Structure 1
Amino acid sequence: MGTSQNRAERLLALMDVLRDGQLHRAEDLAATLGVSLRTVYRDMKTLMASGVAVEGARGTGYRAQTALTLPPLNLTETELEALHIGLAVVGTGMEGELRAAAESLSAKIDAVLPEEAGGVVQGFGFASYPFDLSARALRHLEPLRTAIRAKQKLRLVTQDGARDVRPLKLRYWGRVWVLAVWDETGNAFAEQRVDQITEITPLPGLFVEEPGKSLRDFEAQL
């Protein structure tokens, strides 16, 4: 196993090595994976923080505790989106054990996603907020995702009026869904809370990326 492995493969490989329940020194894990000691320490910290049943510390070694494990799954981006939304719904409508489980599951998924992943899988995260806002936002997610992929201009109507936009990316900001856009009306980047949108209308024609108006430019500005 070489250093060209992405983070997801490396974490799965670590879990596979530790599954025997034996104590493994960090130096041996680093040699097995072909990475640095620092990378092993960081990966072990990630596994522990995301709820994987691993115990140990630097200088003593690491071992896996008894826990339920699933075989590796290859998920499409659409499947990840469905899982993302489902966790948000559980976190919105549930309390106690189920809410905590949704948060824990989200953290585990986030920990093993490839570092270079884009779209919804980047910063998978978990968010919840009052149910009325959740219901309002969730009904808009599918048409917004479709428009982002198709590069379809939209007219968004909110209580502040209507504006024509280029939808760039859906993400969580704080505790709400937010749509990053290039605002054709205001000639600037903007972020629109999805729960505040009352109407979405596709506009004729598609847009192409232009310097100063792309998602890359928006993220550079941030």
Structure 2
Amino acid sequence: MKRSDRLYSLIEILKDGAQHRAEDLALKLGVSMRTIYRDMDTLAASGVPVEGERGIGYSARAAITLPPLNLTEIELEALHLGLAAVGNGLDGELRDAAQSLSAKIDAVLPEDRHGAPKSFGFAVYPFADAAEGFRHLTTLRAAIRGRQKLRLAMQDGTTREVRPLKLDYWGRVWTCLVWCDTTGDFANLRADQITQATVLPGLFVDEPGKRLEDYRKALE
């Protein structure tokens, strides 16, 4: 049984409010008692209200239990960045709730997942950077689809006029591949380092040497 499935099974067992011995849980799930102890620590750390201790038994009284959800990679990214924006941009109960939810998601993510961050948990860096860049993603996506030039003001004080070509996600940091009319070359710009994105009038057209396929060919 996968770790994520086992953790969910434990929640299903414990939420009846009765006490369950680690020995019985281990036998039911086909794992060692040491694994059950580790799983209990994981559930408690992720915010599940587990009650009890080793040698006595465990129970849990969760207010809300959701059924299993299958998320696509882009859905996970959206959830990830949304929590980052809330957790790093607000104080008080909403920030605490975002951090708690992040820990719960991290506890049940598959151990062998690909493409997702190694840990979903919060950190000062680079989570704060991802949240900062999040506000520009709508503008960047729309410009890529609409073939719209942008004027980008960067944190280093420079200003670039660019043709946005592609967005990439690198585990909490977004980059935008552009053809930069200012420097006359391709550039990968971090979204969190953009301070302002202004849509310019007029659309750009494909020109040899300035297209996404030209960038890819140059990498071969």
TM-score of Structure 1 vs Structure 2, range by shorter chain: 0.5 to 0.7
C-alpha distance in 2 between matches for 1:133 and 1:37:
41
- Answer yes or no: is the 8 Å Cα contact 1:91–1:128 preserved in 2: no
Equivalence for 1:123? 119
Could you say what the CA RMSD is over the residues aligned between the two structures, in angstroms? Answer: 3.8
**Percentage identity across aligned positions?**
55
How far residue 203 of structure 1 moved from its aligned partner, in angstroms, is 3.5
Q: Among residues 79, 83, 89, which one is paired with 1:83 in the alignment?
A: 79
TM value normalised by structure 1: 0.63
Per the TM alignment, residue 126 of structure 1 is displaced from its structure 2 partner at its CA by 2.6
Mapped pair 1:196 → 2:196: no
* 1:61 and 2:70 correspond: no
CA contact (8 A) 2:133 2:174 kept: no
Q: Which runs of 4+ in 1 moved over 3 A?
A: 132-136, 139-144, 157-162, 205-208
Letter of the 2:170 counterpart: L
What is the aligned length? 176
Q: Is the 8 A contact 1:20 1:64 kept in 2?
A: yes
Q: Unpaired segments of 5 or more residues in structure 2?
A: 142-152, 161-166, 176-188, 198-209
Separation of aligned partners in 1, 2:28 and 2:94: 37
Provide the C-alpha distance between the structure 2 equivalents of 1:202 and 1:45, rounded to a whole number of angstroms: 51
Which residue does the alignment assign to 1:18? 14
Paired position in structure 1 for 2:40: 44
- 2-side partners of 1:40 and 1:65: how far apart? 18
1:164-203 → structure 2 map (5 Å cutoff): 170-172=170-172, 177=173, 194-196=191-193, 203=212
Q: Which moved more, 1:85-94 or 1:21-30?
A: 85-94
Q: CA deviation at 1:33?
A: 0.5
Greater radius of gyration (CA): 2
- Summarize deviations over 1:67-96 as a string: whole Å, max 9, x none: 222222222221111111111111233110
- Structure 1 spans left out of the alignment, 5+ residues: 145-156, 180-191, 211-222
Change (3 A) 1:9 1:139: same
CA distance in 1, matches of 2:123, 2:190: 14
Where 1:56 maps in the other structure, the secondary structure is: strand
SS of 1:73's partner is: coil
